[in-house]
Amino acid sequence: MQADLVVVGSGLFGATVAQRAAEELGVHVVVVERREHLGGNAYSYRDAETGIEVHRYGSHIFHTSDERVWAYANRFTDFNDYRHHVYANHRGEIYPLPINLGTINQFFRAALGPQAARALIAEQAAEITGEPANLEDKAISLIGRPLYEAFIRGYTAKQWQTDPTELDAAIITRLPVRLNYNNRYFSDPHEGIPVDGYGTWVERMLDQPRIDVRLGEDFLGTDGPLTRDACIGRVPVVYTGALDRFFNQRLGALTWRTLDFDTHILPTGDHQGTAVINYSDADVPYTRVHEFRHYHPERTYPDDATVIMREYSRMAGSDDDPYYPVGTPSDRARLAQYQRLTAEVEPQQVAFGGRLGSYRYLDMDRAIAAALDCFEQRVRPWFG
Ligand code: FAD
Ligand code: UDP
């Protein structure tokens, strides 16, 4: 197939680069996608039986402080007014997240005000002196050991299957700690769910005559005109698959987490009363339960059926889909070596990006922002 640019992966990174290149440069773009649908991990679809929009790879809530990204996303979709709240089940009791004054007072059976709560946490966090070097120390420094052990340790161990002392402190700074009763999960000025779902959003981005989409094709496959061996050095490529797999794991595998999902239709109009409940304790095998009907309060859904999904986390084997970069110290050293390899192939008009291609924990808005930058800084110059 004739292509001026090949984009590998139809997640929000790949879709953004493809859309910009076709519209701005007028080039013919071929998007190669291994799965049978567009949208990457953000993909959602309407369940045939209930009509409920199901997030195929776990709950996705769009939120951003980046006006450029917000304006760009709104070209292709409207967003509803959904505001994300998460609750935690710890030893059979429900607490609000992220950790806030409500969580603290419920946990300590107290009625503390902000200053008293700050003093209590400072006392419980005092065991950490100096700059926290890993997730465990960082979490204890933020919330003290008792809250860490209740809400973070078991969940993180299930989710990352890695000792929290081996994990990057930055992972936990994603979760705010609030000394008031605000339990909004995100603090960005823009938040919502695309009204027609994520699948439709990405379809609209790629619905133009200069873009061809090839579903069910693996760029790292052994034969065909749209594979690594056929394309690299012959046609410009933007690659958003796993970085180490592009190089056949020549320097060893990077560690990734994969997820398993267990989806059920239940005969009730509301199973848990909210979109996500996290299960904090190590003895519950799943990390969280999603109930998708709550993402679209503006839609009319059946009152006798609901779709729930339990999410399980484990280390990815070489045949599993990678979802999260783990990023232990040895991964970070290996990543630096892979980055030296990417620098060697980039002059052949190859760019690496997205969550998998850059081995970075990117939210959707940051994936789009990085793709807009990749388009301007890398792809546009290829076409003069
Ligand atoms: P992806 O969406 O992973 O897309 C990469 C695509 O490349 C995939 O479709 C894959 O099939 C394809 N591909 C890979 N290898 C090949 C190959 N060899 N050949 C062809 N195709 C290939 N972000 C938020 O902002 N809010 C949230 O609430 C949120 N929740 C999340 C929950 C979960 C469980 C997960 C896993 C992520 C969540 N994210 C969330 C992050 C969000 O999914 C990512 O930011 C976004 O998907 C990044 O897009 P991407 O294009 O980089 O990668
Ligand atoms: N986390 C936790 N308990 C919770 C929620 C989150 O320990 O109930 C920790 C966990 O290590 C997780 C990190 O905080 O990986 C970031 O949480 P977030 O909800 O952003 O995770 P994601 O949605 O990316 O899986």
3-state secondary structure of 223: coil
Cα separation of 317 and 255, whole Å?
9
Cα separation of 107 and 263, whole Å?
31
3-state secondary structure of 123: helix
Would you say 257 and 159 are in contact if contact means Cβ atoms under 8 Å apart? yes
Residue numbers annotated as active site:
174, 178, 257, 288, 311, 361, 363
> pTM for this one?
0.97
Q: What is the reported pLDDT for 1?
A: 63
Q: What is the reported pLDDT for 375?
A: 98
Would you say 54 and 305 are in contact if contact means Cβ atoms under 8 Å apart? no
Name the residue with the closest Cα to ligand 2, atom 12: 156
Name the residue with the closest Cα to ligand 1, atom 15: 241
Ligand 1 near 190 CB (within 6 A):
no
Q: What is the reported pLDDT for 70?
A: 99
Name the residue with the closest Cα to ligand 2, atom 3: 152
Place of tokens 């892979």: 338
Pairing verdict, β 288-291 and 306-315: antiparallel
- Which stretches of the chain score pLDDT less than 50? none
The two tokens of residue 16 are 């953004």
Question: What's the gap between Cα 384 and its chain centre?
Answer: 33
Q: What is the reported pLDDT for 176?
A: 86
- Nearest-ligand number for the alpha carbon of 99: 2
The two tokens of residue 100 are 């806030």
Q: What is the reported pLDDT for 310?
A: 98
Ligand 1 near 220 CB (within 6 A):
yes
3-state secondary structure of 314: strand
Ligand 1 near 293 CB (within 6 A):
no
Cα separation of 362 and 302, whole Å?
34
